[in-house]
Amino acid sequence: MSARIDLGGTVALVTGASRGLGRSIALALGEAGADLALAARNREDLERTAADAAKHGVRAEIFLADLTAPAAIEALVADAERAFGRVDVLVNNAGIAGREVPVHELSAEDWDRVLAVNLRAPALCAGAVARGMIARRRGRIVNVASIGGLTPLARMAPYCAAKAGLVQLTRVMALELARHGVQVNCVCPGYFATPMNEEFFATRAGQDVIQRSIPMRRLGEPAELAPAVVLLASDGASFMTGSVVVVDGGHTLT
Ligand SMILES: NC(=O)c1ccc[n+]([C@@H]2O[C@H](COP(=O)([O-])OP(=O)(O)OC[C@H]3O[C@@H](n4cnc5c(N)ncnc54)[C@H](OP(=O)(O)O)[C@@H]3O)[C@@H](O)[C@H]2O)c1
């Protein structure tokens, strides 16, 4: 599908592009013709994504950034804008699951870490790119939230609270930026096979979760999320803003 959407002349900044869903999203955006600013902390993994994206004939540059640091986010956006001249599309994908324990066993540090990566970072990143987008009256922001932002997942309170916040951040920013020509949408993935959860889903308990809670009875493959993001990054989404696109094999139906 991404091969039929033309993102030529578009500059996309993808956070968490070193592996998992972010890598897959970056490759699909590159396949559609977007030049890529790829951000994460692991240089080697980012370089692999960049090299694979470049096979599509696009320009792909890596930017090392720990998104828990607000100054690093400002620097990331400034560096990407300097390198490419502008950022047309931001995909806020970087995220962490956090420790899986009930709320009464969580520490302040557990809360701070998950909220910093999964909510504060995308908010600051979106704010930083929005300034340039408003000036150019053009831009698309796609947030990677989660079904955990729509439905409760036991032992994952910080994650669910952060992702619910990210869904609502999407809607607030969409409302604020619509008149400036900037669209803000989010995708809510269900369970996908990535390094974030491969250990759990390899266990008996993980297999039980798949059979019990996913009507399609399988995990998603990363390449099955990317087309929704490519669409939201493209003119195909020209009248979409504040949308919450669920890609979950039917998980939230149960
Ligand atoms: N997999 C799923 O089933 C699933 C379901 C729903 C939603 N999601 C969401 O999808 C997104 C991607 O998840 P994934 O499964 O692909 O996870 P993953 O394989 O663990 O990848 C996470 C990415 O985020 C980056 N990252 C983490 N902490 C960071 C930090 N402090 N600064 C900069 N980058 C950071 C990682 O890069 P470095 O380690 O190199 O920094 C990596 O590229 C997340 O927002 C996640 O919540 C995933």
Provide the domain count of the chain.
2
Q: Which atom of ligand 1 is nearest to the CA of 94?
A: 24
My answer on whether 142 and 205 are in the same domain is no
Say how many Å lie between the CA of residue 92 and the centre of ligand 1.
Answer: 10
For atom 42 of ligand 1, the residue with the nearest CA is 16
| 108 and 203 both lie in a single domain | no
- Tell me if 195 CB under 6 Å of ligand 1: yes
Question: pLDDT at position 150, please?
Answer: 98
Residue 162 located in a structural domain: yes
Percent with pLDDT over 90 in the chain: 96
The answer as to whether 254 is a domain residue is no
What is the best residue among 14, 21, 248 to mutate for testing ligand 1's pocket, by most ligand atoms within 8 Å of CB?
Answer: 21
Q: What pLDDT does residue 2 have? A: 46
**Same domain, yes or no, for 217 and 91?**
no
CATH code for the domain in which residue 108 is found: 3.40.50.720
Q: Which pLDDT value is given to residue 174?
A: 99
65 and 178 belong to one structural domain: yes
Q: Is residue 3 part of a domain?
A: no
Domain that holds residue 131: 11-189+225-246
Q: Does one domain contain both 79 and 150?
A: yes
Both 209 and 99 in one domain: the answer is: no
Single pTM value for the model: 0.98
241: closest CA among 121, 139, 129, 149? Answer: 139
pLDDT of residue 254: 87
Q: What is the pLDDT of residue 165?
A: 99
Residues 68 and 101 in one domain: yes
Q: 79 and 18 in one domain? A: yes
What are the pLDDT digits (tens) for 89-137? 999 999 999 999 999 999 999 999 999 999 999 999 999 999 999 999 9
Same domain, 122 and 207: no
Residue 148 confidence (pLDDT): 98
**Which residues of the chain register pLDDT less than 50?**
2-3
Confirm whether 6 is domain-assigned. no
**Are 118 and 200 in a shared domain?**
no
Q: Are residues 66 and 172 in the same domain?
A: yes
Q: Tell whether 145 and 19 lie within a shared domain.
A: yes
- Kindly state whether residue 161 falls inside one of the protein's structural domains: yes
Q: Is 71 inside any structural domain?
A: yes
